[in-house]
Each structure stands twice: as C-alpha cells, then as structure tokens.
Structure 1
Amino acid sequence: MILAQNDESVRRAFEWDNAPEGWPALLALLALLAIGYAVIWLYRREGREGAGPALRLVLAGLRCAVVGALAVIWLDPVIATYNVRTIHARVAVVTDVSTSMSVSDPLQSAAGGTRLERVEELYSAGNHAWLRRLAENNQLALYAFGEETAALAAPWESGAGGLAAAPVGRGRSDAALAVAHAFEDRSEQPMAAVILVSDGQFNKGAAAEDIAAHARRFKSPIYAIGVGAAVEPPNLRVVEIAAPPTAPTGDPFQIRVQAAASGIDSASAEIELTVQAAQEAAAAGEPPAVVARRSVTLTPDAPQTVDFEVTPGPPGSYVYRVRIEPLADEPVLLDNARDAGVEVLDQRLRVLLVTGGPSYEYRYLTRMLERDRSVDVSCWLQSADVQAVRDGDVVIRELPRRPEEVFGYDAIILLDPNPEEFDQALALTLRRFVDEFGGGLLVQAGPHHSARFMRDARLADLVAILPITPDPEADVRLTEQGTFRTRAVAIEPAEQNRTHPLVSLASDAAGNREVWRALPGVSWHLPVLKPKPIATVLLETPGGGGEPECLMAVQPVGAGRTAFLGFNTTWRWRGTAERCFNQFWVQVVRYLSQARREAVSKRGTISLDRATIFVGDYVTVEARVLDPQYNPWHEPQVEATLKSGDAAERATLLSAIPGREGWFAGRVLFDHEGSTLIRVKLPGGEGRPENSADERPEAGPAALTKRVLVQQPDYELRALRMREDVLRELALQTGGEFFTLDDAGGLPSLIKKASQTLRTPGPKLAQWDRGWVLAVLAGLLAVEWWVRRRNHLL
C-alpha cells in the first residue's frame, strides 16, 4: 500500500484554559486546600445551639462544594478544537542505471545477469515484496540516475516502466544530483531514509563527502546497497587512439594507440586497425577494411603504446577503428574498440621557398619538394635576374607581399634571406601569417645575409616571433672563430627532446641517436644569444667544457609555429644518407603546415573547446571567418550546420565574440554517435562549389568545414569494481548502514515509521458560563441557607 502524503482530521478535547502551570499551579492547589481546611476548621468549632457534629459536617461540605465550584469557574473549563495533520515520511530508493551497471559479475551471478538485472530481481521478487515492505510505514519514492535523474512510478502501478527504460543519460554517474532530487521532491515531508543502490562509481557531480553532508542537513540516514564484485573483473580496453584530424592523400601518417588491462596479471592481445569511409560507417554499409594487426602483451601496470603507419587513400572522410580481441571471460566489451576520424584532403601543401642565393641547400631542397606529390612549392631566388626562369611547381613572377598572396601558403621557408627585398609591411604580414592565420615559418641562417637580416630594424616584427633571441655581436663572434671552421662540430639532438617528430630519423631512440652521430657536422652556424623561454631546442652542439649552442629551435606563436635552423649544410647529409635529408625536410614541412592543414581553409578556422567529444556533450564551437580579402567578417551572427550520419541537418547560430574581430562562438549539443560535419558558410563564396579545385592563393572553399567524431563516453568503464569503501563511508557518515545486494533483504525492517503529527488549535467553547453551572452554584448556596434556617442557625 502506498501511503498518502498527508492525513487531516479534527479532534476535540476538554481543557482548563486558565489552569496555571509550574509553581503557580502548586500555589493555587495549596491555596485551595488551605481554604478547604479553614472552612472545615471553622465549622467544627461552630458553637451555636443545635449545631451538632453531623450538621456541622454537612454545612462544611456544602461550603467546600461552593468554593470548589468557584475554583472550577476560575479555571475556565473549555471544549478545545484541534485540526490534526499527519505528514507521512518518505523513503527514497535511488538506483544507479549508468553504463557500469550493465556489467556482469560472473563470480557473483551464476546466471550471468548484469548488475542492473540483479537489482531488478530484488525489486520484483515475490510480487515486489521488498518495495512493498518499504511502503508500509513510509511513502515510497523511486528514482533512477545516470548523468541525469528521473522519478519512477511504483512497479505495480499502471504504466510503470523498468529501470532500463529510465530516460537518463548513462555515460556517467551523478549520485549527488539524484540524492538532491530526492530531498527537493519531498516538499515538507520528513525523509525516513535514502536507499542508494549503486556500484559506487561516482564520476560526475559532487563527491561522496558532499552527498553525506547534504543528507546530514536533513537528518536523514543513507543506506547504501553495493552492487557488483569488490575486485576488478578481467578486462582489456582501448584507452586512447590518436590520429591527425586531416592528412593529404598519399601522405603517410601515424596512428598511436594506447591499450590497457585490468583484473589480470597479463594477457596476450591482438590489436586490429580497420578503416571505413565515414558515410559507410554511419550507414552500417560495407564492412571496414583491415589496415594492420599487432600482437602485444598487456599488464595492469601501465598502458601499452602501439603505433600504426597509415597511408591514406583517395580524398574523403574516414573512420579508423582500433579493436582489441576480448578475453574469453571478459564481461565488458564496450571498451574494446575506439574510433578516430581523419579527413583525407585532395589539397596539396602550399610552400613558399625564399632564398638569398643559389646555395646547395636551395638546389637540393627545391628538387626534393618538387618531387613530393603532397607539396606544391613556389620558389623565389632573390639573386636571380628579372627574366630568369623560376623553379617550383607553381611558378611566381614576384615575391608575394600582399596579405591575400602570403596567406594562401601553408608554410614559408626563408633560406639565408636577403633583407634588402623585405620591408616593414612584409614583416608584419609574415607575423600575421603565423600569429593569426596558423601558418608555419622557418628561417635558416646562412653566412651571407642572416646576420644583417636579424639586425634590420624594419624586420623587428618578424624577428620577434622567432624561437631564438639574436646575438647583436654575432658578426664579432664569427670573426673571432673564423668564417668557417677547419673542423666540423657534431650535431646532437637536445637530451630532453630526442623523441620530437622533427628530429626523429629512426624508429627507436637508440637508432635515432646513432643516425645523428653518423651525419656530417657543421663547419658554420650563426651564434644566437639564447632560446626564447617557450622555445623547444631540438639540435645543439656538444657541450664539452661549456654550454651547448643552439642549432635548431621551434616554438608556437599564436595559431601557428616558427622554427630557426642555425646552419645551412643539411645538403651534406645526402652523401651519407639521402633518406635522412629527405625525411628531415619532409618532417619540417609537415610540422610547419600542421595548423593550416588541420584548419583546412585559409579563410578561417573552426575550433572546439575540447579534443574528445562524447554523446550528450555541450561543446563551445568557435569559428574565425574572413572575407575574400582576408579581413575579419563583421556581422552579429553566422550560421553553422551540423550533419551526423542519416540524421537531419541541424542549424545553429554562432554569435560574434566581443573584442575578437571575425570570431564567432556558440554552444552546440552533440547528440549522435559517429562522424559529424560542422559547416560554416563563408562570405563571398556564392556560385562556387564547396570543394573547389581552384589553386590560386586568394581562393578558398565556400565554407569552413570540420569533421569531428562523437563517441560514447568511457568514464563508466575505466574502473569496474564495486567501490565498497566509498559506499560504506557514505552510510557511516549519515547514520545508515552498508549492505551488499545479497544481504539487502532485511533492510526494510530497519526503516521505522517516521511520520510527523501537527496540531493546529481551533476555536474554544467556554463551559463556565453555561446555565447549569449557575444553577449548581445557586443550588448549593440555597441548600446551605435552607439547612441553616431549618436548624435555626441564621
């Protein structure tokens, strides 16, 4: 039986409205007794003739009766009316239905049911006897919680659904929100107890200590029922998959996978990498193609890292999936696979190569880049005649200076540049190219022009973004040591950055160290004062007896990157290992171009406030929008659309960000699993297809696009054991008790009736002014008068 929230009734009671309390009551009683004693004492000494003992006793009794009647009138007898309201207490049963409750614990359940199914067995056994026992003494309230909380009807009521159908997100467990809901819904009802049924994996909202403090404020105990095994079940899972968001077609890239094990000592596992077009993955069409397989040994000590080398196919959106073959007795399979989305682009990287003279470095680097199918290189030889035939895939007739020309490139490499052809406007444009538009810039020093280039005041904006502080006495130092050393100085990767992708020329650390030792050293390099504080030093001279000198450094600058290479003899590496020369410069170009390549468009970018997106996440989407002249777009809003698989396209508005010209932002809900395409239309793009093949620097796509992969969250699967310590401490701090699911059958008998009764006084009906009271008083006096008259005592 479910109790009603309140019962109301009216009750009447006889009361003395003027009755004193405490010491006044005692004094009044003593006074009354004294009066009675005085009356009896006087009548016993009645000396008149005819007043015998019996008559005196009758007269004393009548006089005492009169005094008693007056005392009753003075006490003011009334019939009091009370409105009685009984407030029935609540007992709230709060059940965890998050993803971790879908785990089965083979050691605890021979039938193999999940944790949630075992809880439902407790609730439904014996025609819901366990829940009905709770409802006998207190009003029953049922809740299910995950990321949100939902109130449930009692299972024996019509239309009631099961726990599995509760409309709550299951990606996380927010027990604090659920308990708070239970207290808020009670209105003015007292809370007899809160019964929390969970595995204790609370990974959202307030901590268990805060839940206990909240319950103590309402003086309500929490009884915790732990569900699941107290030890980690055997489980293999993919912790992370890292892949670049974009890659040029045919340009190899790396996918890094981290896998881990728990609940076992060690296990041999097969890791498989597959690829599938995003459209096919969303439509569950063709099966994915296997890219590679690896066999690894996983232990609980630390995640195992596995790298896959991938060569992308034709342009398009692809989903790469990593899957671990599960163990034979593994209870959880949801975390055995993880996806990463990669956009394969048909645009080739656009590189501008500017050199002060026809050095060997320039000749070999130009030829190498011209052979690279992923790069379109434009070359500007400053010392060449005006009518000279220019090198490069895309021939230019003059040094790009205008912003719309410079901003069309992904990376710019300056080889010992002659400062005479540069001016302050071009220096500022190059700085904006890096800082605002995410471009990459490398300055390689050479013996002819670099010292003057670094000192030129007109180029201060450009020099300021380099990762080194130039040495104003560089010429003096070079003169002291001679223009060229007679003995080459070795090149060493900086100790703390030996694994940086720019200096990785071998697959392992030991091999990489041997490669660098075998390469020819440098006979000349430009001295620098020091690296910038945020710079990463990659190459340096051996320290010997003094400080090592910086030969190469990189640093982030705004949205882009800059690099400094202090020597110009990498071409000599070709005599030892041409592969190292090619690999080094390909890595440099990719590194410098990465930010622009990820943004896809040169007329803006779309960025999100997080790298990993789960279903149900609200994400801040920011877009930088530029007009065809690369000026910030000034409008109060721009429209963005989201397309996820077969779901209908959704439109949302991004509002201008105050103080940031051309930037727009908005909060977007990602509610579909899989690949989602974000598209922001660019101004001035009408009449041209979105994926235009126009290669002019000033051209760009008609819309900014960014494809993101939305995944199911794994917060619930990072630890699978029942947290008995958390649940037991929560119960202890609130005056409750901890039970396992198998021992919870006797819990309802511990929760007593906790209802409260409130009495509200109503009107009072006085009794002393009734006619019969006056008649009794008058009758007593009349009888005493008659007795006295009859016996001649008046």
Structure 2
Amino acid sequence: MNLSLQPTVLSVAAAVLVMAAGIWMSRISCKRNPRPLTFKLEILRLVILGAICFLLFQPEWVIISEPKEKPKVSILEDRSGSMETQDVEITPQHVVARSAYVRELLKGHSTDSLKETHVVENAPFSVQPAPDSQDYALASTDLAKPLEEAMQSSDNLRAVVMFTDGSHNASSSVLTQAQRMRSRGIPLFIIPAGSSVPLPDLALQDVKAPTYGIIGETVQIPFTIKSTLGREVRATLTLSSKDTGKAVTRTVTIPAQGEVSDAVLWKIEKEGSETLELKLPIQPQERVRINNASSFSIAGRRESIKVLVIDTLPRWEYRFIRNALYRDPGVDVHTLLFHPGLKEMGEGPGYLVKFPEKMEELAQYDVIFIGDVGMGSKGLTPEQAKLLKGMVEQQASGIVFLPGYQGKQMELLQSELADLIPVTFLTNKPEGTTQAGPSPLILTPEGRGSLLTMLADTESENEEVWRNLPGFNWYAPVERPKAGTTVLAVHAADKNAYGRIPLIVTQSYGNGKVLFMGTDSAWRWRRGVEDKYHYRFWSQVARWMSYQRNMAAGERIRLIPNPERPRLGDTLTVTAMVSDKQGAPLQNGEVFLDITAPEGTTSRVQMENMDHTWGSFTASVKINRPGKWILAASSSDQPDKAVMLPVITMNETLEKIGQPINTALMEEMTSITRGRMVKAEEIQQLIREIKDLPVPPPMEKRILIWCHPYTLAALLVLLSLFWIGRKLNGTI
C-alpha cells in the first residue's frame, strides 16, 4: 500500500497561495484577539486549509495485490441438450454426437504439462436434466454463467478454454462477460463441436389450431413445414383423432432447403373436446425424427352468437347483412335502426326500440355492426359510444364499421369510437367516391390466407374467387390504414400517396377485434350464385369477430387466453370477464384461477381486477412444462360455477437437436477477449500457447481519497468544530 499524488503546476501554485493567505490571516487574527482559544482555532483553520490543498493533488491509496496462488486455467465443457446432435463426422461411416466428440478430445489430449505451472480446472456447464425431470423442458444453454463463475473462482485466472456448439439460448448476456474478461486480460479459446450445416430434416412448425369449432362446420388448421433436405419432397400429412380414429389427409410439396405454409381442413362432428394429431411422414434421409408430429385439442360446441346491427337507412347492404345473419341458425340478430325520416325507431321482427340502456343488456352481444351512423338524436350519444368502446376493449366483443354515402362516420371521430376505427379518413370528402363502373377488391398477401376472407378451400382458389366477385361502385373516403392494423383487401385500381386504397382492414383492440369494410356493395356477390359467397363471408365475420370472446364461456364467466396456443416458456395472460347473479359486470367481488399442471399439481391465484366497471380480471401463468394444463376460473359469489379452459403445450424443449453451430457468436466472443477459435488438431499447440502467456501485472486497487465520501465527512466535521469554536470565542 502506498500513497499516490498527482500534482500539477496549477495545483501547487494554488496550494502555496492559499496556505500563505491562511497564515497571514491567522497572524492578524491572533494579534487582534490574544485569547488562548484564538490560537487553537487558527491552528485548526490552517489544518483545514492544508487538508483542502492536499486534496488538490488528487491523493490516492494504491493497494497492490500479488497473486498468492498458481495461475489458473478453466476448461469448460458444454453438456446441454443440443450437444446430443450427431453431426461430427470422424469418418464418412463414423458420425458421433457432439458431446461424445468433446469427451474424446478431453481424453485424448493430456493437460499434465500445463498442470506443472498452472491450476487446471475442468468444469461442465448447462448439464441436461433427466427426461423425467420438471426442469427438462426449459433447460437451456447458458454460456455467460460459466464464464462469470470462472472469473469469480480465481483472481489469477490466466485463460478459459471452452468446448461448445455456441447455441446460447439463455436470457443472460454472454458478450457482457466477454467484455469483463477483456478488461481483466483473460483470453477465451473456443473449440467448436458440431457442423455449421443443419442436419437433413423436415420439421413441422407453427401448427395454429383454433381452440374450438362449431358442430357441423369445418375449421382450418394452418401449419408450416421447414426443410433442410437437399431435394424437393412431396409428402402427405395425416390429421387424425385420437378419440375416434377419424383421419383426413393433405398433400404438400416441400421445396429443397425451404419451407411451405398450408392448411388442413377438419369437420367438427361431436360436442366436447377432441384430441387431434397432425403427422408428417418421416423421410429416409431425415436425421432428426422427433419434430414430425404435433398434438392439440379442439372443442366442438353448439353455437349461439348474439349480433347487434345499428344503422340509419335501410340500404341494400343493411338489408342483405341482416337477412344473411337472420337465416344463420347459429346467430341471434337484433337490429337498431335510426331512420332519419321517422320520429320513432324502426320496428319489426328482431328490432330494438331503443339502444340497450343497461350494461348487462349490451354485454350480451358478441358482435356489433355500426353502419352509416353518427352522433346526435338520430345516432349514438357520447355515453353510448363509450360503452361500445368498452365492449371491445374489456368484454372482447367485435365491432364492424360499415360506412355509407351519408358520411356519418366522420361524426364518430369526435367520440370514444375514434380510437377503434382502423383507418384515417379524407375529412374534405365525407360522402366518399362514386365510380362510373364497378371495381373489384384485390386481396393482400395477408388477406389471401386469412380465415376471415377465405371463400374457397385453398389460397390460390380463394384469390381467384375474389378476383371474379362482382365489383362495387362506391367506397368510403379512406386515406390510409393506421399503424398496427392488418389490410386484407384493397381497391383494384385507385391509389393515393400511401398506396392502394385499403377497404377491408382489421385490428385488435384491447381484448376484442375491429373490422372496417370500406364499401357497401358486398350484397352484389349474390349475383348469379345467390348466397354462396355473401352468406359465407358474413357468417365468417360473425364467427371470427366473436371467436376470442367464446373460447371458454360459461353462464357468468368468460375466459380469454393470450396467446391462444402458448409455447413452452411463454407467459400466458388469462383475462376473465365476470358477471354477477343479475348479469351485470362484477364490480365488488373476488375471482380465483385454479391452475392444474400437466403432472397433476394444482395451485390457486387471485385474479387482479383490471376494470371495476366492466368486471374484467386478469392473471398470468408461466407455461414451464409441456402437456395439458387446466385453468378454471370461479368467482367468490358463485364458487360452484367455474369455467374451465384446457391449454395444450406441444411436447418440445428449448434445446433443439439438429441445428448448426453458432459460429458467429463464438467468433465474436473470442474476438472481444483477444482469444481465438481453435481446431481440434491445434489443441496441443494451444496448451503451449497458454503456458507461454505473459504474466499479467499485479492487480491494483485505488482508493480515491480526494473524492471519497469519508473525506468529505471529515472536512464537514472540522469545519463544524471551527464554526463552534469561533462562536464560543466570541469571534462571530
């Protein structure tokens, strides 16, 4: 330990002047007041000035610590799940797993010569748990933790040698640890294990099955297949029921080294939950055979969707939409007509004479159509617009905007509904545009595969159907879509500075969905084919908009999971919409969520009340194991009326077999630490290189006296004593 000063010409000159001035002032003070205490105070003054002048030289205590042990070398061995990939080619006929390859390297290269001068520590990391362990599925490769532990284990760490495939998938930052190693002068040497080319494989990915379907109807189950094979493959997938044995097939052509997205159709034939399995045939060239199947469940239900249609004029679009929904056996439709030519509301079968006054009356509707309706006496009130917004945001209802040539939609921009409208309007042209001739709608890439706009069995057929649908003569004054929306269809010809005019646009808002239809001529689709496309489209709209709201619906509770099909490691957010015994949203009460894990263990959490007005509660569940989870929500006033929601997570793990090694990450790690990548045949050379590494300088620890908090505290104490002494001496 020694004292280090850093004086400068300026600091020395300042110190001399300050001390000289202090001595001169002390001499004058002692002459004026020759009391004994005065002399002591002036000595204290000079001590304080001397201390301040001393701090101008930036004094530091330097503590030098020499290593008391031999230099250490850490040899880290990756034992994660990805190391079981068999892609290390010893000979063309002898291919071994990465882990076995590393064990052979460690066994075949002795470190005895290094142990003469160094402490050599062998440490495995990210050891894969047993397959029957609860931690098996979420086990990951963490390259940062072993580096951190190696640095903490010794102050004289000379080098780190790591055997790994670089498949870091933990949340910690490995580059941060590499920067720390660089600051301490510790190089990292990596011996990669594995191939930089993925194994030949067909992987069934992103199977997005709906949670439920309507009995007698067909649901679409999209999927993606990724290929790393060197040739094109034509394969027939099989979707089968584990309960009934029923099976359907779908043939797809998978390009070489590419991927294909398609869908298989399944008809719901019975009520209740059914477990399905989608299988992709294993090809002879495949080296990974555990990712060719996916299991999930679909619940069959008898449907009853409640729809409210609000408009002003009984235009053709209004009439045909109402009739199509009225004839749908799964839809219960009510109508509210603000006719400008009538003093009273429009009347007839299914008509309402006034807007639902009570929240529980409005909360029963799954989908609400808002036509050419504005604000005012022949439209909505601000309170009603706020309720409609809450229906979407909190109750997961859907709203369909259907503007008309009156331009009433402009009035909605001054209400709470403005946030829900997924497009911006041309305010100087509220009446929209009327064309001389009809124009068709053109589907966007998102629209070609959307379940909402699917009017055929395949995407190619669907695009052809839309191209040949009868066109429209009028469209709304749309300027552009808002951020975060999805455009499904655009004008075939007209465009502006933002591109083609978007006419079918969707977005999610809160818990619900919004659809904007920028033309009122869908009724023309009946020409020549009657209800073939018109009925199907609006039927799909009603079901698509209400799907999330009805995923798990009971008499008093509805459950909405997000995401609908969680993957392993996801946090599942569950929203519960709860009503009291009178049907009004629950405002004062508790809601509990019982969670049953795949192995049968149960736990209970109290759901948080997110909105006291709408009875919206939420809770989060960490999906940390594959299999079937059961979520059951119940309220404190009706604990016996719980609603259950099954959630199936695919049997997958974070560690993936067959992926190529992450060469880019390993090169960056070694570059930061001034190390390098080492080939297997260079290991003995590496041992000699580590032995010849220069001895690092002893570690220094500097205590900055000039800016240390204890120094400031000492000065404050001395100044306080000086002030008190002057007070006692009568100087002040």
Taking structure 2 as the reference length, what is the TM-score of the superposition?
Answer: 0.69
1:695-774 alignment runs, 5 A limit: 702-703=642-643, 705=645, 707-709=647-649, 711-713=651-653, 716-717=656-657, 720-723=659-662, 726-727=665-666, 730-731=669-670, 734=673, 738-741=677-680, 744=683, 752=691
Query: In structure 2, which of residues 524, 532, 536 is the aligned counterpart of residue 583 of structure 1?
Result: 536
**What does residue 420 of structure 1 align with?**
378
Q: Does residue 1:175 correspond to 2:115, yes or no? A: no
Distance 1:96 1:247 in 2: 46
Cα distance change, pair 531–329 in 1 and its aligned pair in 2 (3 A): closer
**What does residue 305 of structure 1 align with?**
261
Cα distance change, pair 191–610 in 1 and its aligned pair in 2 (3 A): farther
Distance 1:549 1:167 in 2: 51
Cα distance change, pair 528–222 in 1 and its aligned pair in 2 (3 A): closer
AA at the equivalent of 1:593 = S
**What does residue 124 of structure 2 align with?**
144
Query: In structure 2, which of residues 205, 217, 224 is the aligned counterpart of residue 251 of structure 1?
Result: 217
Distance 1:387 1:261 in 2: 59
TM-superposed CA distance for 1:198, in Å, is 1.0
TM-superposed CA distance for 1:313, in Å, is 3.8
What SS does structure 1 have at the residue aligned with 2:631? Answer: strand
AA at the equivalent of 1:707 = V
TM-superposed CA distance for 1:411, in Å, is 0.7
Distance 2:595 2:536 in 1: 38
**What does residue 235 of structure 1 align with?**
201
AA at the equivalent of 1:143 = A
Distance 2:134 2:514 in 1: 53
What SS does structure 2 have at the residue aligned with 1:296? Answer: strand
Give unpaired runs (5+ residues) of structure 1: 1-83, 151-160, 278-285, 689-701, 759-794
1:356-375 alignment runs, 5 A limit: 361=317, 364-375=320-331
Distance 2:327 2:416 in 1: 34
Distance 2:353 2:70 in 1: 89
What SS does structure 2 have at the residue aligned with 1:409? Answer: coil
AA at the equivalent of 1:239 = Q
Distance 1:457 1:538 in 2: 23
2:442–2:492 CA contact under 8 A, matched in 1? no
Q: Does residue 1:642 correspond to 2:600, yes or no? A: no
1:330-369 alignment runs, 5 A limit: 330-354=286-310, 361=317, 364-369=320-325
AA at the equivalent of 1:176 = A
Query: In structure 1, which of residues 637, 662, 681 is the aligned counterpart of residue 634 of structure 2?
Result: 681
What SS does structure 1 have at the residue aligned with 2:261? Answer: strand
Taking structure 1 as the reference length, what is the TM-score of the superposition?
Answer: 0.65
AA at the equivalent of 2:512 = G
Query: In structure 2, which of residues 513, 517, 522 is the aligned counterpart of residue 570 of structure 1?
Result: 522
1:125-274 alignment runs, 5 A limit: 130=110, 138-146=118-126, 171-184=139-152, 186=153, 188=154, 190-205=156-171, 209-262=175-228, 264-274=229-239
AA at the equivalent of 2:170 = K
**What does residue 623 of structure 1 align with?**
575
Q: Over aligned residue pairs, what C-alpha RMSD do you find? A: 4.8
* Deviation readout 1:388-439 (Å, 9 max, x if unpaired): 7625xxx978753322122122112245569637544433322221233221
**What does residue 118 of structure 1 align with?**
101
What SS does structure 1 have at the residue aligned with 2:600? Answer: coil
Query: In structure 2, which of residues 77, 80, 92 is the aligned counterpart of residue 98 of structure 1?
Result: 80
AA at the equivalent of 2:150 = A
Q: Does residue 1:491 correspond to 2:440, yes or no? A: yes
AA at the equivalent of 1:431 = K
Q: Does residue 1:390 correspond to 2:346, yes or no? A: no
1:324–1:337 CA contact under 8 A, matched in 2? yes
Range moving further from structure 2, 590-599 or 538-547: 538-547
Distance 1:669 1:747 in 2: 45
* Deviation readout 1:38-87 (Å, 9 max, x if unpaired): xxxxxxxxxxxxxxxxxxxxxxxxxxxxxxxxxxxxxxxxxxxxxx9963
1:320–1:340 CA contact under 8 A, matched in 2? yes
1:249–1:346 CA contact under 8 A, matched in 2? yes
1:108–1:228 CA contact under 8 A, matched in 2? no
Cα distance change, pair 738–528 in 1 and its aligned pair in 2 (3 A): closer
1:471–1:527 CA contact under 8 A, matched in 2? no
AA at the equivalent of 1:642 = I
Range moving further from structure 2, 404-413 or 583-592: 583-592
What SS does structure 2 have at the residue aligned with 1:241? Answer: coil
Distance 1:458 1:261 in 2: 49
2:311–2:338 CA contact under 8 A, matched in 1? yes
What SS does structure 2 have at the residue aligned with 1:220? Answer: coil
**What does residue 358 of structure 2 align with?**
402
Larger Rg: 1
Query: In structure 1, which of residues 487, 498, 505 is the aligned counterpart of residue 455 of structure 2?
Result: 505
Query: In structure 1, which of residues 605, 613, 622 is the aligned counterpart of residue 567 of structure 2?
Result: 613
Distance 1:746 1:164 in 2: 42
**What does residue 399 of structure 2 align with?**
441
What SS does structure 2 have at the residue aligned with 1:219? Answer: coil
Give unpaired runs (5+ residues) of structure 2: 1-65, 699-732
Distance 2:183 2:413 in 1: 69
AA at the equivalent of 1:574 = R
1:88–1:189 CA contact under 8 A, matched in 2? no
1:223–1:731 CA contact under 8 A, matched in 2? yes
2:275–2:296 CA contact under 8 A, matched in 1? yes
AA at the equivalent of 1:294 = T
1:242–1:340 CA contact under 8 A, matched in 2? no
What SS does structure 1 have at the residue aligned with 2:86? Answer: coil
* Deviation readout 1:71-109 (Å, 9 max, x if unpaired): xxxxxxxxxxxxx99634443332212222111126336
**What does residue 60 of structure 1 align with?**
none
Distance 2:179 2:307 in 1: 62
Distance 1:118 1:552 in 2: 57
Distance 1:661 1:365 in 2: 29
Distance 2:419 2:288 in 1: 54
Distance 2:130 2:492 in 1: 70
TM-superposed CA distance for 1:621, in Å, is 3.3
TM-superposed CA distance for 1:531, in Å, is 5.1
**What does residue 730 of structure 2 align with?**
none
TM-superposed CA distance for 1:723, in Å, is 4.3
TM-superposed CA distance for 1:606, in Å, is 4.3
Task: Give the total of aligned pairs.
Answer: 618
What SS does structure 2 have at the residue aligned with 1:561? Answer: strand
TM-superposed CA distance for 1:170, in Å, is 6.6
**What does residue 79 of structure 1 align with?**
none
What SS does structure 2 have at the residue aligned with 1:433? Answer: helix
What SS does structure 2 have at the residue aligned with 1:716? Answer: coil
TM-superposed CA distance for 1:175, in Å, is 0.8
1:640–1:680 CA contact under 8 A, matched in 2? yes
Range moving further from structure 2, 637-646 or 286-295: 286-295
1:88–1:139 CA contact under 8 A, matched in 2? yes
**What does residue 40 of structure 2 align with?**
none
AA at the equivalent of 2:224 = Q
Instruction: Report sequence identity in percent.
Output: 19
TM-superposed CA distance for 1:494, in Å, is 6.3
1:467–1:554 CA contact under 8 A, matched in 2? yes
Query: In structure 2, which of residues 76, 90, 97 is the aligned counterpart of residue 108 of structure 1?
Result: 90
What SS does structure 1 have at the residue aligned with 2:378? Answer: helix
Distance 1:490 1:349 in 2: 33
TM-superposed CA distance for 1:119, in Å, is 2.9
TM-superposed CA distance for 1:458, in Å, is 12
* Deviation readout 1:321-368 (Å, 9 max, x if unpaired): 443333324332233334455444444332234455766555554454
Cα distance change, pair 333–133 in 1 and its aligned pair in 2 (3 A): farther
Cα distance change, pair 142–613 in 1 and its aligned pair in 2 (3 A): farther
TM-superposed CA distance for 1:305, in Å, is 1.3
